[in-house]
Structure 1
Amino acid sequence: MNGRDSGERGLKRRAFLGATLGAAAAATLTAGATAAHAEELGDADRGKRRIPPSAIGMHLYTMRTPLAQDFAGTLEKLAAIGYATVGVSGRHGHDAAQIRRMLDATGLKAVLEHVSFTTITNGGWEQALEDVRTLGGRWIVIPSLPGSMGTPAGYREAARLFNEAGLAARRAGLKLLFHNHDADHRTVEGEVLYDILLKETDPALVGFELDLYWAAKLGGNPADYFTDHPRRFPALHVKDMAPDGDFADVGSGVLDFAAMFRSARRGGVKQWLVEHDRPADPFASARNSYDYLSKLRF
């Protein structure tokens, strides 16, 4: 062995040792950071699930007042808070293509749009489907039924129409969802109206955007829907209830979201959309609700 070979081997050995020690140090730092994170979460939260950041959205009905004044600026502020997605509810003078451009500029994604029930029956359904596709959404949502349909017979007729409209939606690459209010959970003529829709719509064609506040308003447990009707609830309206029954920022009221969300995977939930029907300060409400959901473990 000459001096040059010996020198080269020495350099290689030192490089190998340096790399090994560097990897060990990095592993130690990573382990330390993981331990610190676990300590920060606390023993009670270790191993629990969280809502994926990409699944925390804002239903834009909450923001209707600032949207009417500055649509693009409102979207920018929601994105800055941390929201990843939105549910569109009211266009405030903009068409679907214009809203899509504003969303793209902020990095937000529209996952759904609310359209009137009459859109199904007045010949506007195909255009509504095309508009949701333009927005980039996955679901087209009927937000309520006419009061004249508030009987078991009316809900059975709605279920029939939903199946037909849901087939057209599937052909367009979308899915029809129905959004509930408290009236949908009433018992009429011995039948729970909402249950009629669950039973008489085709799961392949019709799903549900479950509003947790309204589902709980009459004393029900929204999580029961997830276990009793698996994979039928791809989107939620996460809305909290104040002690007096009014609306509240998410996390500041009485609803036990952690308990509900433990069954969310079984229910097929993919989007958690914040909503507050009457926020005193829409942006403060948006920040408070996002902060709660982003930290929630269940």
Structure 2
Amino acid sequence: MTAHEEEIQSAGALRRGLGLNRRQFLAATTGLTAAATVAGMGPLSSAAEAAAKGRGGTLVPPSKRGIILYTVRDAISRDPRSTTLPSGFRAVFEELSRIGFSQVEFAGYGQHANSEGGANLETVEGARLLRGWLDDNGLEAEGNHGFIPGSWPLSAADLDRFKLHLEIANILGFGHVGTGNDPTGSAYKADWDVAADKWNSLGEIASEAGLKLYTHNHDVAYSFLLDSGPLDAQGRPTRSSGIRRLEYFLQITNPEHVWLEMDIFWAHVAQFKYRNYTAPDGSAQTNVFNPLGVVQKQTKRFPLFHAKDGRSNPATGNGYDMVPFGTGDIDYATFFSQMGAKGYHNPMYEQDNAPGGTANPNQSLEFSEVSYDNMAALRAPKH
């Protein structure tokens, strides 16, 4: 354990000993009123002072530390009548606030039917209820993996539902609205052209509502686009010019209306999996994907990130095993320190495999606390 990690651990122990949540602790260790705030406790420990003084150098400031609620979906969806653990949106918001998170990203608006407000909060009334709980706990909602119309051209029903989602987003105070899916699962240029037309149109509607429309990547979206001949029996290209699918999508969508949320884990999986392609002349080519480089080229097209960590495991198909943030091998210190536009981005901790099931029903919230601490401790690498 490094000296800095020991300071963070000691500060956490002091905070728990004082019975303070992270917000209270940070307030108590800031400025000349610290001693009065923790009256009767004597001078703060050197570890707490070090943690307080070091806060300015964090790569993810307190106001930007977020979590997508998909990570704790088991807690949101469990029956509050069958457990004493946090259950449903309201109780989970309280726990995430206690941990220290400032931001959340929704992954739909469903919870257990026995939770306060009922099962389905995908309504204007449900959004108002959620907004009250967010405000009560000092949480800011940044976006949602929600409904994106499947039809194109848009059906009247899909357009109405999309506009309802925009209304819900504004009630909840989002800056962004999006999806957890790629714009298309196709490998072919023609299908990405259609997807771009659709997203440009939806993005314009979202912009009129004061929201940024974003898509989210999985690994395959950063595989190579099939855009060159010879053609197959269906008239589709079989080779690539070397551009990756989502990079092409960025080129042909309107930067004023379409944004991306990079899932940094899946981008690194793409780096591991998609290195080779067949060029138009039939030659085998190698091009190693650089997630950080893609962001640096147009960093403000990426207002949100999924801060999902992975431990290297070349024996698996993906090259990484998902782990709590800060316990893997993805170099987040370099990524966040070099991506540009300091203070602009909103990283959301995500871990698809966080739920522990019946063996450890509180695991997703425990992992969330570990991940928050590691996100708070993240500093730029020393050179």
How does the TM-score come out when normalised to structure 2? 0.64
CA distance in 2 between counterparts of 1:221 and 1:288 reads 28
**How much does 1:38 deviate?**
12
Q: Give 1:201's aligned residue.
A: 253
* Higher RCO (CA-CA < 8 Å; seq separation 6+): 1
**How much does 1:209 deviate?**
0.8
CA distance in 1 between counterparts of 2:96 and 2:222 reads 32
**How much does 1:48 deviate?**
4.6
Structure 1 regions of 5+ residues with no counterpart? 1-25, 27-32
Residues 164-175 of structure 1: matches in 2 within 5 Å?
164-175=201-212
CA distance in 2 between counterparts of 1:167 and 1:196 reads 19
Q: Give 1:6's aligned residue.
A: none
**How much does 1:135 deviate?**
1.1
Check conservation: 1:231, 1:267, Cα contact below 8 A: no
**How much does 1:74 deviate?**
1.0
Residues 251-290 of structure 1: matches in 2 within 5 Å?
251-266=326-341, 269-279=344-354, 280=356, 281-290=363-372
Structure 2 regions of 5+ residues with no counterpart? 1-31, 33-42, 79-86, 111-119, 227-239, 272-288, 314-319, 357-362
**How much does 1:105 deviate?**
2.1
Check conservation: 2:70, 2:107, Cα contact below 8 A: yes
Letter of the 1:127 counterpart: L
CA distance in 2 between counterparts of 1:198 and 1:269 reads 19
Asked if 1:211 is matched to 2:274, the reply is no
CA distance in 2 between counterparts of 1:114 and 1:68 reads 16
CA distance in 1 between counterparts of 2:220 and 2:68 reads 21
Q: Give 1:52's aligned residue.
A: 61
CA distance in 2 between counterparts of 1:255 and 1:266 reads 21
Distance change (3 Å), C-alpha of 1:154 and 1:203: same
User: What secondary structure sits across from 2:312 in the alignment?
Assistant: coil
Q: Give the stretch that moved more between structures: 261-270 or 95-104.
A: 261-270
CA distance in 1 between counterparts of 2:368 and 2:290 reads 25
Letter of the 1:50 counterpart: L
Asked if 1:233 is matched to 2:242, the reply is no
C-alpha offsets along residues 231-257 of structure 1, whole Å, 9 cap, x if unaligned?
Answer: 111111000012221211001011000
User: Bigger radius of gyration, 1 or 2?
Assistant: 1
Q: Give 2:188's aligned residue.
A: 151
CA distance in 1 between counterparts of 2:143 and 2:55 reads 33
Q: Give 1:19's aligned residue.
A: none
Which residue, 234, 237, 242 being the options, matches 2:311?
242
Percent identity between the aligned chains?
A: 29
Asked if 1:291 is matched to 2:322, the reply is no
How does the TM-score come out when normalised to structure 1? 0.81
**How much does 1:230 deviate?**
2.9
How many positions carry a matched residue from both structures?
Answer: 263
**How much does 1:295 deviate?**
1.0
Residues 182-193 of structure 1: matches in 2 within 5 Å?
182-189=219-226, 190=240, 191-193=243-245
Q: Give 1:13's aligned residue.
A: none
Check conservation: 2:59, 2:336, Cα contact below 8 A: no
Q: Give 1:91's aligned residue.
A: 109
Residues 120-159 of structure 1: matches in 2 within 5 Å?
121=154, 122-123=158-159, 124-145=161-182, 149-159=186-196
- Say what the alpha-carbon RMSD is for the aligned residues: 2.5
CA distance in 2 between counterparts of 1:192 and 1:267 reads 27
**How much does 1:155 deviate?**
1.6
